[in-house]
Amino acid sequence: MNIAKRDVVEASGSGQKSGSEAAIHAMPRIFEADDTDAVLLIYASNEFNALNKAAALLNIRVLCPVIAVYAVNTYRHSARLFITGGKEITSAEGTTQGDPLAMAIYALSTQPLITSIQAMSDAKQCWFAADACGAGTISEIKQWWDGLNKFGPDIGYFPNGKKCWIVAKPEKEALVKVAFKDTAINVTVEGQKHLGAVIGSRDCLQDYVNEKVTNCVNEVVQLVEFAQIQPQASYAAYTFGLKHHWTYFLRIPPDIQDLLEPLEEAISQVLIPAIVGRKCSKLDRDALALPVRLGGLSLSNPCHEAAREHASSTQVTPSLVEHIMAQTHQLPDESLIASGPLPLQEHGFNLGKREFRDAVKLRYDWPFDDIPSMCACGENLTVDHAMICKRGGFVIQRHNEFRDLEADLLSIVCTDVEVGLVLQDITEEQLSRGSNRAQDARLDVRARGFWDPQSSAFLDVRVCLPNAESYKDWEPQQIYRIHENDKKRLYSRRVLDVEHGSFTPLVFTTTGGMGMECIRYHCRLAELIAAKKGERYSQTISWIRAKTSFALLWSALVCLRGSRVKRRASYDYNNCDFEIAAAEGAIDIVLCLLAVLYIRFDSVIYSFPDTLTLEKKESHVSRKEKT
């Protein structure tokens, strides 16, 4: 999540800084607007536990592919839940409690629902996790409610009408009750809680604040009991824990300083004396409220803090508030959804009609019914054989394409990059058994400063076929490891002892996989490129993976469809000297005529011995034919 957070934010719109505060500031303003009749606050049954896993994983693959693999691997099967008494139950739906990815999965899963009901209703909606609210005219919020009940169950979102509330303006109360008479939704004109604040009248807000203050005072009193014997621990518990419990609460409602007086009295008259061992004057209280760096103890006054925190909250959220009020979030273009965006040709990501279908067949191992049954080499032409057949040079072409691609990517961050480097000769170095000792031994790529400054990194590419008969009983990681170890056996010790560099084998498979060494290499490459170009790591690594995947796909398509039949060598007419060619052509004509006479004579006498004995053939040929 530390890496993929920004991708999740862009895909779902969630995770905005101070997002809940912006929603709290925006919704009362929307409710007070002249064109708003009421606000509908939604309570969903079982919320996170009822999420439809199948729909969620499908939507995540489309909306945020960066986390799709992890999400599928962790949520494709039922979760094991352990309850008191040692019993175990399985959870087939919903997100798992404690999973760092749970909120991201839920946010991405509800995005299609939010988009769908936005398209069918003009109500202004705002979502925070499972809490949703819609505001507008009575007809607008009724359409919005109907949309929730229509599309919500498909993704596992079930609005509970008995716990939902409509906060209506007094003059609209009767009309709201008529419009929602067939539902179990509660209707009020006083106000209702919303994300830790209140939408409605001032009286409702005061009741809510008084309730919160009472709870805070009780927490302070409980801490005082412990402060009598452990003042330092109580001070730490207050400054680093307890007072932050109500920081969010202080930032939300406006003009509540006078309502916080009971809490300030509990702190100044009970808690502080218990901690410092004496009663404090007003001057002492003001000094203790200062930050530690200014000589205080950070025992802040909530009455003074409330105005400052609320002002800070309104200053950092105006942009989000305006977006919520105007509902100006970017929705998908319907024309784009209908036709689908074309892949970018300039990056080589576009496929032709047959190429695309071939790629799909390769991906799912579907049969090909339009390729020859026999290869030019004489073997049966199967997909697996096409990937490894050396006839036509496509295997070495595939290797060179990956070599050149990695060199091009390295050139973005390394200034000294060399392809096809011949290693230094071995003099008196003692290499391990199996090392390549050839004088003309080569490695694919060398780059200076990749792993360490001024140190050369040597790379060697290998593309293997994981579906080979010899690998049928092996796991993919075993296949990668054996090829990596083989490369290291050949070159690692020579590079370390002779070249004084590092060696990394880049093992790919024809089906799109990578070895662990290759994965680590690309992660490091993505970090360097992202840092140099100022891009996000997640986008950079996705781009690198896309480039390597398409390079492998193109090479696989060439191996499958490329012609392995030897063609006649073409003549270079551009560099032809016509005068010389004409003179040589005259000689060639004479030679050709002699050859024709030789063939004709040989065909007549049936043989062409070193010493002609035409007399033996007189019975078969005439004098004219002899001549």
How many other CB atoms sit within 10 Å of the CB of residue 312?
A: 14
Q: Are 110 and 104 contacting, i.e. CB atoms less than 8 angstroms apart?
A: no
Whether 525 has a pLDDT exceeding 90, the answer reads yes
Can you give the pLDDT at residue 448? 92
pLDDT digits (tens, 9 = 90+) for 17-48: 777 888 888 888 888 888 888 888 888 887 78
Which residue matches tokens 């070249």?
499
Residue range 184-200: mean pLDDT, rounded = 84
Write down the pLDDT at residue 342.
43
DSSP one-letter code for 268 = I
**Average pLDDT of span 123-151:** 87
Residue 592: the pLDDT is 55
pLDDT reported for residue 349: 67
Question: What's the confidence (pLDDT) of residue 529?
Answer: 93
Amino acid 561: pLDDT: 86
Task: Provide the 10 A C-beta neighbour count for residue 604.
Answer: 12
Cα distance between residue 437 and residue 444, in whole Å: 16
For 161-174, the pLDDT digits (tens) are 888 888 888 888 88
205-262 pLDDT tens trace: 888 888 888 988 898 888 888 877 778 778 888 888 888 888 887 888 888 888 888 8
The per-residue pLDDT for 447 is: 92
577 against 552, higher pLDDT: 552
On the CB side of 299, CA atoms within 13 Å amount to 28
**pLDDT bucket at 528, cuts 50 / 70 / 90:** very high
Residue-level pLDDT at 519: 92
What is the crossing angle of helices 537-561 and 516-533, to 10°? 130
DSSP code for 129: T
Mean confidence (pLDDT) of the chain: 81
Region 464-491 average pLDDT: 87
pLDDT of residue 612: 42
What does the alpha-carbon distance between residue 522 and residue 415 come to, in Å, rounded to a whole number? 18
Cα-trace Rg, the chain: 39
Least confident of 193-207, 495-509, 606-620: 606-620
In whole angstroms, how far apart are CA 306 and each of 45, 259, 470? 34, 10, 72
The 3-state secondary structure of 290-350 reads: CCHHHCCCCCCCHHHHHHHHHHHHHHHCHHHHHHHHHCCCCCCCHHHHHHCCCCCHHHCCC
Give the residue extent of every domain in the chain.
6-197, 204-326, 353-595
Please check the confidence at residue 188 and state whether its pLDDT lies above 50. Answer: yes
pLDDT higher than 80, residue 59: yes
What is the total residue count of the chain?
A: 627
What is the Cα–Cα distance from 460 to 481, expressed in whole angstroms? 15
pLDDT at 623: 53
Q: Residues 81-108: pLDDT tens digits?
A: 888 888 888 888 888 878 888 888 888 8
Using alpha carbons, select from 116, 504, 546 the residue that is nearest to residue 343.
Answer: 546
Band of pLDDT at residue 582, cut at 50, 70 and 90: low
Q: What is the 3-state secondary structure of 492-528?
A: HHHHHHHHCCEEEEEEEECCCCECHHHHHHHHHHHHH
Residue at token pair 């043989």: 607
Residues 324-340 pLDDT 10s: 877 776 533 333 333 33
pLDDT tens digits along 402-412: 899 999 999 99
Residue 252 confidence (pLDDT): 81
Q: What is the pLDDT of residues 583-615, one digit of tens each?
A: 665 665 555 555 555 555 544 444 444 444 444
Predicted pLDDT of residue 516: 92
Task: Tell me what percent of the residues of the chain surpass a pLDDT of 90.
Answer: 9
